Amino acid sequence: MQRRSNPIRGFSLLELMIAASVGVFLVGTAVKLYSIGLTMSWQTSQKAQLQQDFRAAANLLERDLSMAGSGALGQQGLSNGSVGLPTGNGSTIPVYPCTALTTCNYIKSAPVAYPDSPTGAPSLYSIMPGPSLGITVTAAAGPTDIITVNYADAGLPLNCYTGTVNAAATAVTFILPSNWSQTCVTPPNIVPPALPPSLIYNSTGNTVGLQVGDMIMFGTNALGVVTGAASTCGVVAPNLACYQVPFATGDPGHVNQPGVATGSLLQYAGAAVPSAVRLISVTYYLAIPASTGLPTLMRIQNGQPPAPVAENVVYLKFTYDVINSSGTVTANQATLPAGTTPSMITKINIAHMSMRSQGRDTSSKSSLSGYGYESLDLQTSLAARSLTSQQQYPITVTN
């Protein structure tokens, strides 16, 4: 009997109950906290990732749009009105955006026709709105917008060269005269290079300069799309360099139509062009690539294949402020009002660029509430500064 009073004894039932309930409470709290923590860290990481993508996309978009219409190195640029494209007898309607010599079927698997000038001729403008031309991500939200901006490329010194169009209007010969204007490469008072950069190769022999698919603006009246590799041609003294660049018929955007009299390179056939400048043409649109199945903001530039900018952009809308010939501003127009042209745009408003995070569909993971998508919406305005600082307002041009 003495042995039974030894210190080896278990918990009493009361102790056990208290300990168990305290334990259950603690474990329960810990699990709940862990679950909240898990959700929060998921949301936090999604939000951070979203903000990062969003900022990058918004910066790129804003930077491109704010360049619209800027001229280069004293060139006229695109600020004044528009550039005519082939029109009239026997012409095919020109379209954009295109990849070099392949296709223009990017916006809803179809090409987009250039906007018409008031006279009905297809024309290239610094800003080309595309209201509701984009894909529809959700029917309830409706179709999205596309937007295209064009501006002069300051990096390629085409303006150092004199261009001459051949008789058939299918090629242009660029010659660098010995008395080339050194200010075409550098601003005054800066020592210029001995020769401007080549139109084909750089010093290491890599292909630079003109690429197939590049759009060249001749004077302010004609456009051409490079359809093949530029080749060197015999230099006649005292000239310093000579390149021949093909602008043959058959580009997918139907810009080269040497057989059409109006709006084609034919107007300079056998003669010198007033000036030549490469355009940088950038189009933004939404697409759902089959590889990801996600709505993606795409950017296509100068005949290069389209590149994704940001995934999970679910909505894209623009409005425009336009000024008419009597100086009256009409703000926030989704489509340009009658009597105005894209050259009268003074401000581009990004009405919506809605993005969501990578997310996880709430319906597929119902036990973990709060695991949906994080989302953001961009609304801002950009002055068409390259146009507004060069154009005379109110606008009196008719093209």
Pick the closer one to another protein by CB: 271 or 288: 288
Residue 98: strand, helix, or coil: coil
Stretch binding another protein (CB under 8 A), from 127-135, 192-200, 240-248, 310-318: 310-318
Pick the closer one to another protein by CB: 34 or 92: 34
Pick the closer one to another protein by CB: 202 or 379: 379
Token pair recorded at residue 105: 């079927």
Local structure of residue 216 (DSSP, 8 states): E
Which among 68, 49, 229 is positioned nearest to 149, based on CA atoms? 68
User: Counting Cβ atoms within 10 Å, is residue 395 exposed (0-12), middle (13-18) or buried (19+)?
Assistant: buried
Residue 120 makes CB contacts below 8 A (sequence gap 6+) with 87
Stretch binding another protein (CB under 8 A), from 134-142, 151-159, 238-246, 254-262: 134-142
Stretch binding another protein (CB under 8 A), from 176-184, 251-259, 279-287, 373-381: 373-381
Smallest gap from Cβ 325 to another protein, in A, equals 13
The verdict on 235 binding another protein (CB under 8 A) reads no
Residue 253: strand, helix, or coil: coil
- Rg over alpha carbons for the chain, rounded to the nearest Å, is 30
| Contact in structure between 126 and 149 (CB atoms under 8 Å) | yes
Local structure of residue 154 (DSSP, 8 states): T
The verdict on 211 binding another protein (CB under 8 A) reads no
Stretch binding another protein (CB under 8 A), from 127-135, 196-204, 256-264, 312-320: 312-320
* Identified binder of another protein from the candidate list 140, 190, 191, 236, rule CB under 8 A: 140
Pick the closer one to another protein by CB: 238 or 327: 327
**What dihedral do alpha carbons 66, 219, 302, 136 form, nearest 10°?**
60
Token pair recorded at residue 65: 């749009």
Residue 37: strand, helix, or coil: helix
Residue 88 makes CB contacts below 8 A (sequence gap 6+) with 260, 261, 262, 263
Smallest gap from Cβ 379 to another protein, in A, equals 6
**Cβ density class 201-214: b for 16+ within 10 Å, e for less:** eeeeeeebbbbbbb
The contact mask relative to another protein for 256-285 (x = CB under 8 A, - = no) is: ------------------------------
* Identified binder of another protein from the candidate list 73, 315, 341, 342, rule CB under 8 A: 315
The verdict on 317 binding another protein (CB under 8 A) reads yes
Smallest gap from Cβ 374 to another protein, in A, equals 9
The verdict on 47 binding another protein (CB under 8 A) reads yes
| Contact in structure between 102 and 63 (CB atoms under 8 Å) | no
Pick the closer one to another protein by CB: 198 or 312: 312
Local structure of residue 31 (DSSP, 8 states): H
The verdict on 44 binding another protein (CB under 8 A) reads yes
| Contact in structure between 83 and 69 (CB atoms under 8 Å) | no
Q: Enumerate residues 88-117 that contact another protein by CB under 8 A.
A: none
Binding residues for another protein, rule: CB under 8 A, are 3, 6-8, 11, 15, 18-19, 22, 26, 29-30, 33, 36-37, 40-41, 43-44, 47-48, 51, 54-55, 137-142, 312, 314-315, 317, 321, 323, 327, 329-332, 346-347, 351-352, 354, 356-357, 359, 361-362, 372-373, 375-385, 388-389, 393-394
